[in-house]
Amino acid sequence: MVEAQFYKKLGNGKVLCHLCPRYCEIGEGQTGFCFVRKNEKGTLYALAYANPYAVHVDPIEKKPLSHFLPGTSVLSLGTAGCNLGCKYCQNWDISKARYDHERAHTFTPEDAVNAALAHGCPSIAFTYNDPVIWAEYAIAIAKLAHAHGLKTVMVTAGYITPEALPAVFDHMDAANVDLKGFTENFYRKVCLAHLEPVLQTLQTLQRRGTTWFEITNLVIPTLNDALAEAREMCMWILDHLGPDVPLHFTAFHPDYKLMQLPHTPPALLEEIRQMALALGLHYVYLGNVHTPTANNTYCPSCQALLIKRAWHQVQEIHLHGNRCPRCHETIPILAYQPPVREAMTPSGAARRSHWV
C-alpha cells in the first residue's frame, strides 16, 4: 500500500485528511468518507493508488472538453469511491463502491502511460469518480505522462482544499469542473457537500492560469433547473471567470437514488443555453442531447463555424491555428500537434486491450 499525502497524525492513532473540505478525522482501521483513504495503525494509506476500477479510451469531447485537443482520444481511468454523495450519480456503481481487491486492477503509472501511447492518446484523464480522492496516483501518472509528451486532464467536482489544490493542479494541463448547482441548499441536500469550496476552486484555477478549464452543469428537473438559478450561475461566471470559460449544460437521466425524476427536456437546455449566450458567455454547449448546433464551436465575434461536432465526434475543424478563419479572432483552443517522442517499452498491462 502507498502512504497518502495531505494528512497529519493527530496522536491516539487518529489522522486528519486535509485533501478535501470534508477534513475527515479517521480512526484506526477506518476509511474516510470517500472509502479509499484508510488509517492503518496511525498511517493513512491511499488504497486506490494503481488500482483503478475502470480504464477506457474516450473522445476528449466526452469529458466534456471542447477547447482542449479537440478530436483526439484520451485514456481515461477512475477508481472506487468519491468525496461527494450526489443522489443522482451517473457512475454510482464505482463512485459508491468501497475499495476491494476483487474489482480493482493493478495498473501502475507506467501502465497508464504505456496504454496511452499504445492507443495513440495524446492525453490521460482522471475521471469517472472524483480523482481528488486519489490525488497521489493521478500526480504520479501526470509526472510520467509529461515526461513522455502527454497532457493530463482532471474531471472533478472541484471539491479540494486550498492547501492541496496547487500540489494537484501543478500537474494538470486541463480540467472540467462540475458546478453541480448554484445554491448551497442543492449542494447540501443533493450532493452532501457545499458550494463555496467549488467556487473557490474555480477562482483559484482562473487566477493561477496554468490549467485550462471548462465547466459542466447537469440540469436536473425540479432540483436545479430554474432559469433564475442558471442565470445567477452565468452572471457569477462572467463576473469572476470571464466570458471565455466554456460552459456545458448537460441533460440528466434518472439514476441511482433519483429514479423518479424525468429526463431534462432538450427545449429547456436550449433555452438556458440561449440565455447564457445572450448574457455574454462566448462558448456554451449542450451535452447528452442530440442537437444540430449546440455541440459546435462558433466564433464569438463573427459567428463563423469553427468546429462541427455530432455528439462526441468532431466532423470538421475550420480554425487557422487558434484563429477564426473569417475574422481572425483569437479563439482559446489548444489544438493537437503530434509530438516527436520515443515510445516506452510496451508492458503486459499496455496490451490488455479489453481494458481500454
Binding site for ligand SF4 (CB under 6 A): 17, 19-20, 22-24, 32-34, 37, 83, 133
Locate 31 and state its grid cell: 476509511
**Shortest approach of ligand SF4 to residue 33 CB, angstroms?**
4
Compare residues 74 and 198 and give the one whose CB is closer to ligand SF4.
198
**Shortest approach of ligand SF4 to residue 95 CB, angstroms?**
12
- Cβ-closest position to ligand SF4: 32
Compare residues 191 and 269 and give the one whose CB is closer to ligand SF4.
191
**Shortest approach of ligand SF4 to residue 239 CB, angstroms?**
29
**Shortest approach of ligand SF4 to residue 156 CB, angstroms?**
12
Which residues, other chains included, contact 181 with Cβ-Cβ below 8 Å and sequence gap of 6+? 187, 190, 191, 195, 217, 223, 224, 229
Compare residues 34 and 112 and give the one whose CB is closer to ligand SF4.
34
**Shortest approach of ligand SF4 to residue 80 CB, angstroms?**
12
Which residues, other chains included, contact 318 with Cβ-Cβ below 8 Å and sequence gap of 6+? 304, 305, 306, 307, 308, 325
Residue 157 CA to residue 132 CA, distance in Å, equals 9
Residue 75 CA to residue 245 CA, distance in Å, equals 24
Cβ neighbour number for residue 167 with a 10 Å cutoff:
15
The angle formed by the CA atoms of residues 194, 199 and 204, to the nearest 5 degrees, is: 135
Which residues, other chains included, contact 191 with Cβ-Cβ below 8 Å and sequence gap of 6+? 84, 85, 86, 87, 157, 180, 181
Compare residues 118 and 133 and give the one whose CB is closer to ligand SF4.
133
Residue 234 CA to residue 316 CA, distance in Å, equals 28
Compare residues 20 and 97 and give the one whose CB is closer to ligand SF4.
20
Residue in the block written with cell 475499495: 99
Identify whether the C-beta of residue 265 lies closer than 8 Å to the C-beta of residue 225.
no
Compare residues 33 and 53 and give the one whose CB is closer to ligand SF4.
33
**Shortest approach of ligand SF4 to residue 193 CB, angstroms?**
10
Compare residues 18 and 146 and give the one whose CB is closer to ligand SF4.
18
**DSSP state letter for 156:** E
**Shortest approach of ligand SF4 to residue 131 CB, angstroms?**
11
Compare residues 23 and 311 and give the one whose CB is closer to ligand SF4.
23
**Shortest approach of ligand SF4 to residue 1 CB, angstroms?**
15
Residue 171 CA to residue 354 CA, distance in Å, equals 28
Identify whether the C-beta of residue 24 lies closer than 8 Å to the C-beta of residue 17.
yes
Q: The sheet that has 37-40: what strands, in order across it?
A: 2-3, 43-46, 37-40
